Each structure stands twice: as C-alpha cells, then as structure tokens.
Amino acid sequence: MASLAVPLLFVVAFPLAFVSAFHAPTPNDAAITVVGPNSVVGDLVTSLDETDEFRVVQSEVTSHAKQDVKTRDSIGALLVEMHEDPSQGPASVTAYVGSGNGPSTAAIVRSTGEKVASQLGVPLSVQDLAPLAPEDPMGSNLFYLFIYSTVGAFMLVIVLAETAPKTKPSRMFAVVGIGSVLIPVLVFGLSSVFVGDYGASFGAIAALLAVDALYVFTIGSIAILMHEFLGGSLLIGVLLLTIFLNVPGSGGPVPYALLPDFWQWVHSVSFGAGAMESFRSLVYFGGHGVTRWILQLVSWTVAVPAAVALVAIAKSNARMRAELSALDRSTRRRGSIGPDAPIPTTPVPTQTATEGDLR
C-alpha cells in the first residue's frame, strides 16, 4: 500500500492544485492605473472598480502611468490624453503594459485599453515598458529556470537520503550548500545555449543567480526537514510543498493577478513566489520591487533550517530520555535483589592428596 502513495498523490494533487489554479485565468482584483482628468475618466474608473476584476488606481499626474508599471505597482496603466483645447475632449488613449509580468497580463491591459478607446472614440497606442527578450516570446524561460532549480534541489537530498539514510542534517546542509552554488550556474549555463541571457545585463544575471542560490538552498532545506519528519517517505512531503503548493502559487505559469483567491494567498507567503517574482523584477524591471520578494524568500531560508535544528534537538532529547529510562529500569532490576542478600559464589573444587602424591 505504501508503494501506491506517490502515484496516488500525483493523481489526486495534480487536478486539485494545478487545475484549480489554472482553469480560468482571469483578472482577480488586479491593480491597474488610470490617468486623466476626473471629469473624463471618473465614470470609467467607477465602472472598472465596481467589478471583481480590477482594483483601479486613479491619478491626474501623467508620469504615474509609466511609473506604476515600471515599479510593478500595477499590471498596466491607461493614460487618457486631452487635446490642447480641453473643450474638444480626449485626444488618445495610451496603454502601458509590462510583458515581463506575463504576456497574459499585458494582453488584458491592451484589451481593456481597446474598450476604453472605443468608448471615448479615440485611437489607442500601446507601449511595452518591460518587453520580453526575442528568444523568450512567451515569457516562460525564467519559469523553466525556477522549475529546474526546484527539482535539482530536492533531488539532491532525496538521492543522499536513499544512498546514505543515516547522514546527519549538518552534513546534508553542507551538500545542499554546495548544490545551491552549482545548480543555478549549471541550469542557467545550459539554458543559455538556447535562450541566451534573457536580454539582461551582467549585473542583473549575477543578482538572478544569487537569488536562485537562496531558493535552491531553501528547497534543499525543506527536503531535509521532510527527511527528519518522514524518514524514507520524505518524497511525499517534498512533492506536496515544493511542487503542488509551490508551483501554482509561484505566479510562474499564471501571473499572480490572474490567480483565484486561495492561490493569491499562497503567492503572498510562499518561497516560490519570493524567488519567481524576484527573477522578474531583476531581469525585466530593473530591480524595482525586488526587496519585498527577497525578504519573503529569505524568511523561509532562515526559518526552515531553524525548524530542522529544533527537530534534531527534540530527537536528541527523546533519545537521551529513552536511554536514561532504560538505565533506570536496569538499576531498579539490580536493586530488587536487596543490599543484604548473600552474594552467590561458585564453589572452588578441592583436591585431596593421596599417598602416592605425597611420595
């Protein structure tokens, strides 16, 4: 029955996790900025804000349109520009998108801009403030880096646990530490043969690999924690935490703004989202917003090894109590004989001399 646990986990967890997260990617309280005179955009803002799809940030400051997209405060922005003579009404609508957040979010902002422009009877122009690299038209290559780093990190611990199950956590952490340096470099190096450097600068790539190293160490630490809790069944716990919860909630396959409520909550606290959103900020948005996501990742990087240490201490204390209890029982058994009881002795054989021996 135990041998069926992992296949059963895949059969049950894949539809519950992945299908529930990805079945209908639509805006869910997605932040969008609308810039223009209140007399022109007021009704538009109200109609958008009344839906569950958007959370509108309204401004009359033109620079806020680009700024909110570049800093990732909004998935996009709509700028309604007026004629020099305000009495002539709006002149055009510009939709600012950031494909680095995911092509699907950019498409939604573009579609919303088309509706607004049609409603106002003006032309629409689109500007992509965070374009994807030519080698990455679908925006999926950073997600591949994320996935391969995830699998490489936990497989390192699983193989170690299978080949040397009595390895101490401290030695496992040493192996994971080495892996956290090698795995990101290896994965990026092999991937770059096909997808290049994501169109990013050397500094951005160096920062990306540093964040990936933190992520690999975190995943490896989680695998060690599962080994301490579950022993030989650690694969079940590892898959639940690092695949079935981590991947849908990371915002990698489907951006955060398009996830259902539960998965948006997972995204707001998970280590995977901390890594994935840091990747995007560093590569496509010049590092804007990266601090918030790195802190989310680092909190797990610190907390999980601390949990492993607590489990190891608890196990050590339990072993000591068991040994003391066994020693106490042994002492009690010896004491039950009584201090005044005669000590049994083995009779010493004696030999009587014969007349022949005396001669």
Residue 100 pLDDT grade (very low, low, confident, very high; cuts 50, 70, 90)? very high
Which strands, in side-by-side order, build the sheet including 76-82?
A: 54-59, 30-35, 76-82, 90-97, 124-128
Whole-number pLDDT of residue 89: 80
Whole-number pLDDT of residue 90: 87
Whole-number pLDDT of residue 198: 92
Whole-number pLDDT of residue 323: 76
Q: At residue 69, what is the residue type?
A: V
| Chain segment 240-280, per-residue pLDDT in tens | 999 999 999 999 999 999 999 999 999 999 999 999 999 99
* Both tokens assigned to 319: 């072993």
| Chain segment 210-227, per-residue pLDDT in tens | 999 999 999 999 999 999
DSSP string of 53-73?
SEEEEEES-THHHHHHHHTTS
Report helix, strand or coil for 91: strand
Whole-number pLDDT of residue 348: 52
| Chain segment 301-314, per-residue pLDDT in tens | 999 999 999 998 88
How far is Cα 249 from Cα 262, in angstroms, rounded to an integer?
9
How far is Cα 273 from Cα 250, in angstroms, rounded to an integer?
4
Whole-number pLDDT of residue 337: 54
Beta strands in the chain (DSSP E): 30-35, 54-59, 76-82, 90-97, 124-128
- What domains are defined for the chain? 26-128 (3.40.190), 136-314 (no CATH)
Whole-number pLDDT of residue 243: 96
Residue 27 pLDDT grade (very low, low, confident, very high; cuts 50, 70, 90)? very high
Are 282 and 215 spatial neighbours (Cβ–Cβ below 8 Å)?
no
Residue 357 pLDDT grade (very low, low, confident, very high; cuts 50, 70, 90)? very low
DSSP string of 176-235?
HHHHHHHHHHHHHHHHHHHHTTTT--HHHHHHHHHHHHHHHHHHHHHHHHHHHHHGGGHH
Whole-number pLDDT of residue 3: 66
Q: CA nearest 79: which of 66, 120, 108, 146? A: 66
User: Which of these ranges, 84-88, 193-197, 279-283, has the smallest mean pLDDT?
Assistant: 84-88
pTM equals 0.87
- Round the average pLDDT of the chain to a whole number and report it: 90
